[in-house]
Amino acid sequence: MRNKIAGKNDGINKKEPSTTEYKPKKNIFRRIKSLLKQKSNLYIRKFKANKKASITFLTGIFAFAICLCLLSNIQVGYAVVFNDKTIGFVSEKYSTELAINEIYSDIETYAPDENISITTDIKPSVAPDMYFKSETEIADIIKANLDFYVDACCIVIDGETKLAVKNAEEADAAIQGYKDSCVGGEGEVINIEVKENIEYLNCKVVYTTVLSVEDAIKTLHGAMAKEGLYTVVEGDTLWSIGIENNMPTDYLMELNGLDSEFLNIGDVLRVTHPTPMLTVTVEKRINYTEYIPYETEQIYDKNLTKGTNKTTQKGQNGENYITAVVTLVNLQETNRVIENTEHICDPVKEIIRIGTKPKPKTAATGRFGRPINGGYVSSAFGNRSRGYHTGIDYALSYGSPIYASDGGTVTYSGWSGGYGYMIKINHGNGYETLYAHCSRLAVSSGKKVAKGQVIAYVGSTGNSTGPHLHFEIRKNGSYMNPANYY
Ligand SMILES: [Zn+2]
């Protein structure tokens, strides 16, 4: 039974049950059923006597059928029936009804006099996941089956009919929308010009070719694509190349006969570059800040120690405030005229002083040397039976020279209780060294000493049982193990 559309406002015929069933599903079950029948018959024929085996076999077949149902992900929803044919399944009834109602109202608007008769029905059903569709897909299937002609407004560009929209207002909106999209970013538009001659024509076109304003703008932007070549570079994917060329990945693969998405660097692909149907020239005034980069001056300074650089003046970019008129042709800048340059500030030169003065011998090198020649470690750093040892003891003959472990300033030279005669050097980098139990001191407090310079001689003064050097390295006041430094 068929319904005439005219006069039927809700559009969807809910009363008539469709006779069409969902074929694929039926076929599957029918096939399983017949397979089961055939096979079991065969089985029973072959092993008639063995009833037990036959029951086992049937149980297996049923289990298999149940698994098949579970695997195929049966979903509960609605079957959409169009002109007595099931065209797909949806999970949402209401939104599908809305989408279909829109088609009915389109038919009434555009083809009230056409004798179009269609039926649709949405009824509860179950089907495998894969047969479910969105309401838009359902609407598209229905539209594709409606090939009636409707009154429309054709947009004619340079004498050629390019696209059709509902009416002249929508054509205006599409052209204006396209122009607006060619302005690109900020600025005061001075002039917009379309090179091509545009005319509107009342025309009759197939219902489905009438574009929405949005789709018309997209079409104007370049549905008619010219083909080009693209060479694959590192980091490219089909997706990124597609984005760049306004092509879906599927189409890119089809055009190039690819069956995998794997690309090699250097591959040459055929691509289509979107070619806009209209050439829009936009002139606009823009304002922006132009930066004038600062210069850097290096000055050699003999008062500064070698290896030390000092920025004595921080650099700063200068600024100009620019007013310019730019010309864009389909968003590509083709011309820029600077109208006005307002100078905001000059750049400030950066000055870096580079030290050339050789380092004094008495400056710390940052690396410690052994304070004695020869001898042996008579007591190591750290825990020992007589308590924590704050340095290393080197035993060697009385009067042997003691050398400064690194350059620095002598901060103590004299008697210091249990340490006996002692020297302390501050190296100026957070480190101090200490030399104890000396027999004689060779430098006085306040003196600058170079690394390796003789500062004292080995003795056994203070709390000592024999000639040795007690040597300490202190970092910011903490005792360090000298063995880790040389
Ligand atoms: Zn010691």
CA of 389 to the centre of ligand 1 (A): 6
Q: What's the pLDDT at 52?
A: 56
Please give the CATH number for the structural domain made up of 282-357: 2.20.230.10
CA of 448 to the centre of ligand 1 (A): 25
CA of 436 to the centre of ligand 1 (A): 8
CA of 439 to the centre of ligand 1 (A): 15
On the question of a common fold for 282-357 and 376-484, the answer reads: no
Confirm if 168 and 203 have CB atoms less than 8 A apart: no
Please give the CATH number for the structural domain made up of 225-274: 3.10.350.10
CA of 466 to the centre of ligand 1 (A): 11
CA of 431 to the centre of ligand 1 (A): 19
- Position of tokens 């040892």? 389
Domain limits of the chain?
A: 23-146, 150-220, 225-274, 282-357, 376-484
Task: Name the residue type at position 43.
Answer: Y
CA of 475 to the centre of ligand 1 (A): 18
Q: What's the pLDDT at 55?
A: 59
Q: Within its chain, how far is the Cα of 344 from the centroid?
A: 37
pLDDT tens readout for residues 7-36 = 333 333 333 333 333 333 334 444 444 444
CA of 391 to the centre of ligand 1 (A): 6
* pLDDT mean across residues, the chain: 84
CA of 440 to the centre of ligand 1 (A): 17
Q: What's the pLDDT at 244?
A: 76
Cα–Cα distance, 308 to 22 (Å, whole number):
85
CA of 370 to the centre of ligand 1 (A): 15
Helix, strand, coil: what percent of the chain each, to 5? 25, 40, 35
CA of 449 to the centre of ligand 1 (A): 23
Q: What's the pLDDT at 51?
A: 52
Q: What's the pLDDT at 68?
A: 57
Q: What's the pLDDT at 230?
A: 85
Cα–Cα distance, 447 to 9 (Å, whole number):
109
CA of 364 to the centre of ligand 1 (A): 24
Q: What's the pLDDT at 225?
A: 55
- Among the CATH numbers 3.30.1300.10, 2.70.70.10, 3.40.50.150, 1.20.1440.230, which is that of 376-484? 2.70.70.10
State the pTM of this model. Answer: 0.47
Cα–Cα distance, 272 to 186 (Å, whole number):
30
Parts of the chain with a pLDDT under 70: 1-72, 223-227, 246, 248, 273
CA of 447 to the centre of ligand 1 (A): 25
Q: What's the pLDDT at 47?
A: 39
CA of 484 to the centre of ligand 1 (A): 17
Question: Contacts for 410-413 with beta carbons within 8 Å, 24 or more apart?
Answer: 410/443, 410/444, 410/445, 410/446, 410/447, 410/448, 410/449, 410/455, 411/445, 412/445, 413/441, 413/443, 413/444, 413/445, 413/447
